[in-house]
Amino acid sequence: MKNGINSRVYEKLFQIAGGIMSPAIEDWKKQGGRVMGYFCSWVPEELFIAAGILPFRIRGTGSTGTERADEYFTSCNCSFPRHCFNTALSGGYDFLDGVVIGTSCDAIRHVFDNWKNSPLKTPFVYQLNRPDLSGEIMAAYFREELVKMNAAIENHFGVKITDEQLWKAIKLCNETRQLQQQLYDLRKAPNPSISGSEVAAVMVAGASMPKEQYNRDLAVLLNELPGSKPDDNSHSARLMIVGACGDDPIICEIAEQQGAVVVNDQTCFGGVVKYKGVSETGGDPLAAIARYQIIDRPFCAKIGGAHPLRTSVILDIVRDFKVDGIIGQRLGCCDAWGGELFALREDFKQAGTPCLMIEREYIPDSRGQLTTRVQAFLETIQR
């Protein structure tokens, strides 16, 4: 992730995003705080925050191999969970007091099995079930799963999660989403004051530190950033990234090095995280969270029936941000995003939006090949 913004706050967020352990987590642990690791953006942070636990989204930042994880996973599994699990086996996540692993794709689901049956001594390991379809019945089912997880957290950590605490956590996380949306809106400008790879660092930091602290820092950063840099028409294209992960924005960096500007994304660590917000009305906070994750924001590629909403949101962004082309990225052996990007490509063609589909590994072993493909795509757009 490149760092070109002259801001102490951005430098702080950049450093937090650049590694697993950070001063923010160290300070939290020194004060006796507990940390809950989790995979996937649909696992509700609100429940951990309401329990007084710091949510930390698991990623493989800094991983250089999967040798130890390969004893548990075959090579036909996506490289993201393998790098994350290798980091865990190497001690990178020893600071966690618990981990919640959802039933996302098969590879992530198997992380739970392997975590439970490995030498890892994480005190609390829980599997959260999520339906693979959208709809009212599925939202009701997911609410009951959240009730079960709440009870498990209360029992293990000796805490009580009240509705009042949940509503307070919902409001806090909604504030985060609103601030992140303001950050993304800056990129509507002809020459945005923050690049796509820089935004990626800010977004990753938001899942790696206390929310109250992050919101204060992000508010300061927004005040420091101008709406647009001086006019510069040298950008070869305005691009959007769609697909898996997004915590390692190598495609953004490559595109920006080629003279393009990445003005938006719909990735698992990026734009999909800040979609609208959980309803703050009604009498049941768990029902509000469940509805948000299953009906209002069904952006996981594994959720059936969500494709029309996903397409609609992306094409709205194409219009609002004046996107010239879309780069879709999937990790090797990722069936979920493989199928979704195939469907999206047809929608983009019908809408007249150029698109490039890239398959890559979580830690790419060939930057040169990716650069060649992005460069050729930009030349196509210019023609």
Per-residue pLDDT at 233 = 60
Q: Which residues contact 249 (CB under 8 A, 6 or more apart)?
A: 1, 196, 197, 200, 201, 241
Looking at residue 80, its pLDDT comes to 93
What token pair was written down for 333? 């052996």
Q: What DSSP designation does 187 have?
A: G
How many Å apart are CA 368 and CA 382, to the nearest integer? 21
pLDDT of amino acid 338: 86
Residue 254 to residue 81: CA distance in whole angstroms: 24
Phi-psi region at 2: left, alpha or beta (left = phi > 0; alpha = psi -120 to 50): beta
Residues 6+ apart with CB under 8 A from 326: 239, 240, 241, 242, 314, 318, 348, 353, 354, 355, 356
Per-residue tens of pLDDT for the chain, all 383 residues: 445 678 999 999 999 999 999 999 999 999 999 999 999 999 999 999 999 999 999 999 999 999 999 999 988 889 999 999 999 999 999 999 999 999 988 889 999 999 999 999 999 999 999 999 989 999 999 999 999 999 999 999 999 999 999 999 999 999 999 999 999 999 999 999 999 999 999 999 999 999 999 999 999 999 999 876 766 666 889 999 999 888 988 999 999 999 999 999 999 999 999 999 999 998 999 999 999 999 998 778 888 888 898 999 999 999 999 999 999 999 888 888 888 999 999 999 999 999 999 999 998 877 889 999 999 999 999 87
Specify the amino acid at residue 383: R
> Which of helix, strand or coil describes residue 27?
helix
Q: In whole angstroms, what is the distance from residue 153 CA to residue 169 CA?
A: 16
Do residues 182 and 83 lie in contact, with contact meaning Cβ atoms separated by under 8 Å?
Answer: no
Query: CA-CA distances (angstroms) from residue 212 to 27, 120, 176, 181?
Result: 14, 30, 9, 17
Q: Strand order of the sheet with strand 98-102?
A: 53-57, 34-38, 98-102, 124-128
| Lookup: tokens for 15 | 């450093």
Helix ranges (DSSP H) in 292-334: 307-320
User: Could you give the 3-state DSSP secondary structure of residue 356?
Assistant: strand
How many CA atoms, within 13 angstroms, populate the side-chain half-sphere of residue 241?
Answer: 34
CB-CB contact of 334 with 267 (8 Å)? no
Are 326 and 248 within 8 A, CB to CB?
A: no
Rounded CA gap, 52 and 165, in Å?
9
Query: Which backbone phi and psi does 326 adopt, to 5 degrees?
Result: -120, 135
Strands (E), 124-278: 124-128, 238-243, 261-267
The CATH class given to the 22-159 domain equals alpha beta
- Spatial distance between the Cα atoms of 73 and 294, rounded to a whole number of angstroms: 29
Q: What region, left, alpha or beta, does residue 244 occupy, with left being phi > 0 and alpha being psi -120 to 50 degrees?
A: beta
Rounding to the nearest 10 degrees, give the CA dihedral for residues 23, 27, 28, 34: 90
Are 107 and 336 within 8 A, CB to CB?
no
Using CA atoms, how far residue 281 sits from 217, 277, 358, in Å, is 27, 12, 41
Residue 171 confidence (pLDDT): 98
165/288 Cα distance (integer angstroms): 14
Per-residue model confidence (pLDDT) at position 77: 87
- pTM attached to this predicted model: 0.94
Q: How far apart are CA 353 and CA 369, in angstroms?
A: 23
d(CA 267, CA 196): 12
